[in-house]
């Protein structure tokens, strides 16, 4: 894994905690949440405040995520919103925590100037020892305060101020006034600098979880289902009609189709389908060549064609199915009939434009593990696990490729794969509008 770390492909973009003041704030928050303190004087933290170095020190990668259910967090800076979230147990955790920071950014910026903010993503349940408990997970509430309880003091002070203003004898209540003064010394001037954080609850109906070997739960679609990466019989009785494992390719394909969750890459708008298909084929060639121990110093398409000729008798059906699709996309002709039984089938799909797109792309990455770029982008947990099992030649090729083709322009790579999408406000990009109505605007009658 050292190669990935050196290239910024693992533990990249973490927040560096290097000053004594920040270390002390972190330790206060850590003790507040867990009763522990770190001896580290220099470490890195992710979006939630988890530090790989401290995880090694405690020999506990879940020291801020007990039982992997209610993730605790420590915020030292609003810049943590740009960091990855490590050791994810629920796919929704990063989006929820990032949204919480963005919705409270000005308040958090003021609070973290002098103290750490500690909190928890409180699930509907505290223990998931049985798969059926996953269906009790329906919402996540974010609770947070500084280690000095600034938010709690401010809330208390707001209530006292209301009493002072409304009670008939409030002006003459020396005890009330003294308590207000004492709280104001702890919370600051709440009239000029309000420090309330929104205690917001987020829905969590559709998600992936690392529990029970990995499960995808789709509850809000027209035809709900749970898809496990392990043995579906081991899950027992669950309160849902459809339960699939990765071997149920036909049933998963129908699930995608019935819920309009996917679309063929060759028919998707806003992307270069032929380029994506070629790249997927290249990854399959690289995997076959690595199994044979061949040199993988392939940086051009000509190099990959040379490898493809060398391993032509070892290329799987998925490669040939994608080649048929590429031929149709570039030269036309009859549409290649690729059924869900065909190993190329899921490689030929991408998530449709729905609220479930990220979760669907994550599942597609699981179904298409040879597509190392989509695997890295959409399912890093699985990518790192599979990376450890690859021959060193493949690990070297993959790390170099991702550094060269993805790391330098992440947004561009995502746009090339998944196409342009509306921005956060729902506006269509300007380029799409120009393409639709022309550079001089729409023609008016």
Looking at 96-100, 258-262, 339-343, 403-407, which range is the least confident one? 403-407
pLDDT of amino acid 152: 57
- Give the rounded distance of the alpha carbon of 371 from its chain centre: 18
Provide the residue count of the chain.
Answer: 445
pLDDT of amino acid 264: 92
- The sign of the torsion formed by the CA atoms of 149, 108, 144, 198 equals positive
Using left for φ > 0, alpha for ψ between -120 and 50, and beta otherwise, residue 140 falls in beta
State mean pLDDT over 209-227. Answer: 96
pLDDT of amino acid 438: 33
Residue 444 has pLDDT above 80, yes or no: no
19 phi, psi to nearest 5 deg: -95, 150
Rounded Cα distance between 124 and 33, Å, is 19
Alpha-carbon separation of residue 162 from 7, 158, 180, 185, 222 (angstroms)? 56, 6, 11, 18, 48
pLDDT of amino acid 193: 47
pLDDT: is 1 or 351 the higher one?
Answer: 351
437's CB contacts (< 8 A; 6+ apart) are: 443
pLDDT of amino acid 440: 30
State mean pLDDT over 2-27. Answer: 92
C-alpha triplet 108, 111, 117: angle, nearest 5°: 75
- Nearest Cα neighbor of 382 from 366, 398, 371 is 366
pLDDT: is 419 or 204 the higher one?
Answer: 204
Rounded Cα distance between 110 and 146, Å, is 11
How would residue 281 be classed by pLDDT, with cut points 50, 70 and 90? Answer: very high
pLDDT of amino acid 445: 31
pLDDT tens for residues 299-319?
Answer: 677 888 888 899 999 999 999
How would residue 168 be classed by pLDDT, with cut points 50, 70 and 90? Answer: low
pLDDT of amino acid 123: 85
Alpha-carbon separation of residue 267 from 274, 328, 329 (angstroms)? 11, 11, 9
User: Which one-letter DSSP state was computed for residue 374?
Assistant: H
Helix (H) or strand (E) holding 53: helix 52-58
Across 50-124, where does the E strand assignment appear?
72-75, 117-123
State mean pLDDT over 199-217. Answer: 91
Paired tokens of 58 = 């405690």
CA atoms within 13 Å, Cβ hemisphere of 228 = 16
pLDDT of amino acid 71: 93
Q: In what order do the strands lie in the sheet containing 201-203?
A: 72-75, 117-123, 139-146, 201-203
pLDDT tens for residues 59-118?
Answer: 999 999 988 988 999 999 999 999 999 999 999 999 999 999 999 888 888 788 888 999
Under a CB-based contact definition with an 8 Å cutoff, are residues 219 and 205 in contact?
A: yes
- The sign of the torsion formed by the CA atoms of 118, 122, 126, 127 equals negative
pLDDT of amino acid 427: 39
210's CB contacts (< 8 A; 6+ apart) are: 68, 88, 89, 90, 381
pLDDT of amino acid 195: 62
Under a CB-based contact definition with an 8 Å cutoff, are residues 114 and 42 in contact?
A: no
Residue 354 has pLDDT above 90, yes or no: yes
pLDDT of amino acid 115: 86
- Nearest Cα neighbor of 247 from 227, 273, 220 is 227
pLDDT: is 186 or 258 the higher one?
Answer: 258
How would residue 422 be classed by pLDDT, with cut points 50, 70 and 90? Answer: very low
Residue 439 has pLDDT above 50, yes or no: no
Q: What is the 3-state secondary structure (H, E, C) of 376-414?
A: HHHCHHHHHHHHCCCCHHHHHHHHHHHHHHHHCCHHHHH
Query: What is the average pLDDT score of the chain?
Result: 85
Rounded Cα distance between 193 and 225, Å, is 48
Share of the chain above pLDDT 90, in %: 57
pLDDT tens for residues 361-383?
Answer: 999 999 999 999 999 999 999 99
How would residue 405 be classed by pLDDT, with cut points 50, 70 and 90? Answer: confident
- Nearest Cα neighbor of 340 from 229, 249, 246 is 249
Looking at 86-95, 139-148, 181-190, 328-337, which range is the least confident one? 181-190
pLDDT of amino acid 153: 59
C-alpha triplet 261, 69, 364: angle, nearest 5°: 25
Under a CB-based contact definition with an 8 Å cutoff, are residues 325 and 276 in contact?
A: no
- Give the rounded distance of the alpha carbon of 362 from its chain centre: 9
């Amino acid at each position: 894994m050292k190669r990935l770390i050196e290239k910024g492909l693992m533990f990249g973009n973490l927040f560096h905690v290097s000053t004594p003041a920040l270390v002390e704030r972190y330790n206060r928050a850590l003790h507040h949440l867990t009763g522990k303190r770190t001896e580290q004087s220099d470490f890195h933290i992710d979006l939630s405040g988890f530090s790989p170095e401290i995880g090694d020190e405690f020999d506990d990668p879940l020291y801020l995520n007990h039982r992997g259910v209610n993730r605790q967090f420590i915020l030292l800076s609003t810049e943590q919103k740009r960091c990855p979230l490590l050791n994810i147990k629920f796919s929704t955790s990063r989006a929820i925590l990032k949204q919480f920071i963005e919705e409270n950014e000005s308040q958090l910026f003021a609070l973290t100037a002098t103290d750490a903010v500690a909190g928890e993503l409180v699930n509907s349940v505290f223990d998931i020892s049985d798969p059926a408990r996953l269906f009790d997970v329906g919402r996540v509430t974010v609770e947070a305060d500084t280690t000095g309880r600034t938010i709690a003091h401010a809330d208390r002070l707001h209530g006292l101020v209301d009493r002072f203003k409304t009670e008939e004898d409030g002006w003459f209540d020396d005890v009330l006034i003294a308590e207000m003064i004492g709280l104001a010394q702890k919370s600051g001037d709440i009239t000029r600098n309000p420090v309330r954080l929104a205690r917001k609850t987020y829905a969590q109906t559709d998600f992936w979880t690392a529990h029970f070997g990995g499960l995808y739960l789709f509850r809000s679609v027209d035809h709900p289902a749970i898809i496990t990466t392990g043995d579906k019989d081991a899950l027992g009785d669950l309160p849902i009609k459809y339960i699939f494992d990765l071997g149920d390719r036909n049933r998963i394909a129908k699930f995608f189709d019935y819920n309009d969750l996917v679309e063929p890459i060759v028919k998707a708008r806003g992307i270069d389908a032929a380029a994506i298909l070629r790249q997927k084929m290249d990854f399959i060639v690289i995997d076959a060549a690595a199994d044979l121990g061949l040199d993988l110093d392939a940086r051009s398409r000509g190099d990959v064609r040379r490898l493809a000729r060398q391993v032509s008798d070892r290329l799987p059906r998925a490669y040939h199915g994608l080649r048929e699709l590429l031929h149709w996309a570039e030269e036309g002709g009859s549409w290649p009939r690729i059924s869900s039984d065909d190993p190329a089938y899921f490689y030929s799909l991408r998530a449709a434009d729905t609220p479930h797109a990220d979760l669907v792309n994550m599942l597609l990455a699981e179904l298409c593990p040879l597509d190392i770029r989509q695997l890295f982008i959409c399912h890093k947990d699985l990518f790192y696990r599979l990376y450890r099992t690859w021959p060193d030649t493949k690990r070297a090729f993959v790390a170099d490729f991702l550094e060269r083709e993805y790391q330098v322009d992440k947004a561009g790579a995502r746009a090339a794969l998944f196409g342009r999408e509306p921005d956060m406000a729902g506006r269509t990009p300007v380029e799409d509008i120009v393409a639709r109505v022309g550079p001089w605007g729409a023609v008016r009658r």
